[in-house]
């Protein structure tokens, strides 16, 4: 293969089901997300399908933290976000059972407090389940975002990122060893100041419509 533009054949290797879209000038736009979803929709082969055409082994998208979108959404909830890089966003999968869900939330809150982190609030992620298979719906979690303030004494973003990584592991292990398990359980899809992940037990085509957030960013 011939090197062209940013492509270098030296780094060529097989990879199944991954697409990447970026603006080389670091300009943010909704078009980047829309193009990424179009790539995903054209890789319907990227994962296994179940007995239903609208249940798969999972599809998702990782995006740069959409600060303006989160700022506007959090204002509606009475949460005032600090500037970008001064807070982290976690995408949490909670059990449907309200008692298990709140038990997981309490432990997550205590874990953050133990590590000296302040939780500013939670936001429920809106979903559209019209075209989702029954198998996927049977294990669909309650998806929420948690917003965590960067402590004043942490001045370097990478130090804050490491702190969030520690929280993710600590809370996950504590909840796994404490809360009764059901078919859904607790899972941290992402926890970062830089990126956020949206995903579900879907095939690639329904993702854009299942998660209105990624259509609106």
Which tens digits make up the pLDDT trace of 170-201? Answer: 999 999 999 998 888 999 999 999 999 999 88
Active-site residues: which are they? 16
Whether the model clears a pTM of 0.85, i.e. scores above it, the answer is: yes
9-216: CATH topology is: 3.60.20
Q: Name the average pLDDT for the chain.
A: 89
- How many Å apart are CA 91 and CA 203, to the nearest integer? 20
- For 44-103, what is each residue's pLDDT tens digit? 655 556 566 677 778 899 999 999 999 999 999 999 999 999 999 999 999 999 999 999
Closest CA to 198 of 187, 214, 184, 185: 214
Please give the pLDDT value at position 85. Answer: 96
Please give the pLDDT value at position 143. Answer: 97
Task: Residue 133: count other Cβ atoms within 10 Å of its Cβ.
Answer: 20
Outline where DSSP puts E strands in the chain: 59-64, 87-94, 118-124, 142-149, 187-192, 195-200
107-121, 134-148, 149-163: range with lowest mean pLDDT: 134-148
């Amino acid at each position: 293969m011939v090197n062209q533009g940013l492509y270098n054949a030296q780094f060529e290797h097989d990879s199944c089901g991954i697409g990447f879209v970026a603006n080389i000038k670091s300009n943010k736009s909704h078009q980047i997300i829309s193009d990424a979803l179009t790539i995903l929709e054209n890789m319907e082969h990227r994962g296994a399908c179940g007995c239903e055409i609208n249940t798969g082994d999972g599809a998702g998208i990782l995006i740069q933290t959409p600060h303006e979108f989160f700022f506007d959404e959090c204002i509606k909830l009475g949460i005032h976000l600090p500037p970008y890089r001064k807070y982290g966003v976690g995408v949490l999968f909670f059990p449907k059972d309200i008692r298990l869900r709140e038990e997981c939330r309490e432990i997550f809150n205590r874990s953050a407090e133990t590590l000296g982190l302040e939780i500013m609030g939670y936001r429920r992620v809106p979903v559209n389940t019209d075209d989702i298979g029954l198998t996927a719906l049977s294990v669909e979690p309650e998806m929420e975002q948690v917003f965590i303030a960067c402590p004043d004494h942490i001045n370097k973003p990478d130090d804050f990122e490491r702190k969030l990584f520690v929280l993710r592991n600590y809370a996950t292990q504590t909840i796994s060893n404490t809360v009764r398990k059901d078919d859904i359980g607790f899972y941290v899809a992402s926890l970062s100041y830089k990126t956020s992940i949206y995903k579900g037990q879907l095939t690639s085509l329904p993702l854009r419509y299942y998660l209105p957030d990624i259509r609106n960013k």
